[in-house]
Chain A
Amino acid sequence: MNQLIISAATEGEKVNPLVPDLWEMLVVAVGFALLMFIVVKFVVPMFEKTFAERSEAIEGGIAKAEKAQAEASAALEEYKQQLTDARAEANRIREEARGEGAQILAELKEKAGAEAARITAQAHAQIDSERQAAVVSLRAEVGTLATTLAGRIVGEALNDDERSARVVDRFLADLENQNAGAGK
């Protein structure tokens, strides 16, 4: 067949390009089968394995990153919680202190009031007693003075102390009665 084609070509006759050379077909078939074998057996599995490993590595990395992210947000949540707790605690303490302060203030006020009242009462009592003393001494002095004055005026008639004291007492009693009546 080869001889035929060559002679045909050299003679300038038309060779039909659609008629294949069987040997060439065989070589292509064998070559392609060989290539397919190598590709199926080695090339594709190796590439696929690499791809799978790579995507696994990437997915593993993503999982790791996601885990870290979750941990970070958990920690953040925890810190926020702690911050809120601390704020609440501070508020509570502040409220407590305010309450305590108010209580102390009230106690102090009460104490001061009581003290003031006590002092006032003491002062009143002192004033009363002093007044009483003054009244008593005045009564004595005024009696003496009045008696002296009256003795001088009426002459030595009232030298008798006992009598004069009686007169003075009566006079003062009258006076007090009048005072009390006017006072009331």
Chain B
Amino acid sequence: MIALALPAQNSGDFTPPGINEMHLPAILPWGAEYGFSKQMLLVLLSVVIISAFFMLAARKRQLVPGKLQFAGEAAYGFVRNGIAKDIIGGKDFIKYVPLLFSLFFFILVNNIYGAIPLFQLPTFSHVGGAYVLAGIVYFTWIVIGLKKNGIRYLKLATVPSGVPLYILPIVVPIEIISNFVVRPVTHSLRLFATMLAGHLIVMIAGYGIEFLISQENIFLQGTSILVLAGAIAMYMLEALIMVLQAYVFTLLTAIYIEGALNADSH
């Protein structure tokens, strides 16, 4: 919203080749303008939305669920059975359900903001939140691995079994880098980058439409319809990616935890 207000100020500077460079300053809501930004409000709001929905859905605890309870159970069962049980499995997958459940719906709601008018801002288009969540997951699976396998876990996680001795000097550094350094970075940046890119694309389309309409040539104005059509298509794609990224983030968390639990067999 703030971004849309900007071009009005600088409308004199709008020239066709300039649009590509304009999108960076358009990320003005970057960082907290007033100390407490829209971003922060949205994060806290998501906590309220998720808690309220699932508390209401789970409260009645009927054997034959009503509509709301059924929706809540389907959503909970999706994470519980579709992610936690399928990936982690075993007897105590239930221990990790709360983390996976919270992650999935926290990210989902915060992403979906980007597709809802007025909110129109996926929280994780700012990198801070993604770092926090990826960091939580990073420490979680390392602690799980150490608890389960003891200090031996560091060896299990970095020295793959069945590799000839002379290749180990190459493999071990690669494993260390990929598991302990790159993994949390990709985990967080994947979420952040897709949200940022999606947000930018929709924003650029908005700028483009505004610029084209402000032209004097009627034909150039007409082309804004094409941009609008493209923007709607991109909006749909972004909505899909928002859901998908929440799923991917949670799925990877489950895979990391499973890898830490069964480090012996990997």
Contact = CB atoms under 8 A, between A and B. Distances in A.
A46 B24 contact: no
A49 B69 CA distance: 13
B73 A50 contact: yes
A14 interface: yes
Nearest to A27: B40
A53 B63 contact: yes
Given A27-B40, A43-B54, A17 B129 contact: no
Interface residues of B, number: 52
Contacts of A40: 98
A110 interface: no
Interface of A is mostly: helix
Contacts of B33: 2, 6
Given A27-B40, A28-B132, A34-B47, A17 B58 contact: no
B72 A25 contact: no
Interface string B155-188: 0000000000000000000000000000000000
Contact of A35 (B76, B97, B106): B106
A21 B102 contact: no
Contacts of B55: 38, 42-43
B17 interface: no
A24 B37 contact: yes
A24 B39 contact: yes
Interface string B99-133: 10110011000000000000000010011110111
Given A2-B35, A15-B24, A28-B129, A44 B59 contact: no
A22 interface: yes
B72 A31 contact: no
Contacts of B65: 50
A146 interface: no
A27 to B, nearest CB: 4
B16 interface: no
A161 interface: no
A57 B25 contact: no
B136 A32 contact: yes
A1 B31 contact: yes
B43 interface: yes
Interface centre among A28, A31, A34, A49, by most B CB within 10 Å?
A28
B245 interface: no
B19 interface: no
A48 B118 CA distance: 36
A6 B6 CA distance: 13
Given A28-B129, A48-B94, 13 more contacts: A5-B30, A9-B24, A12-B25, A20-B126, A21-B32, A22-B128, A27-B43, A31-B44, A32-B136, A34-B47, A43-B55, A44-B76, A54-B63
Interface of A: 1-2, 5-6, 9-10, 12, 14-15, 17-25, 27-29, 31-32, 34-36, 38-40, 42-44, 46-51, 53-54, 57
9 contacts: A5-B31, A10-B25, A17-B192, A20-B131, A24-B129, A28-B123, A39-B54, A39-B101, A53-B61
Interface of B: 21, 24-25, 27-28, 30-33, 35, 37, 39-40, 43-44, 46-47, 50-51, 54-55, 58-59, 61-63, 65, 69, 72-73, 76, 80, 94, 97-99, 101-102, 105-106, 123, 126-129, 131-133, 136, 189, 192, 196
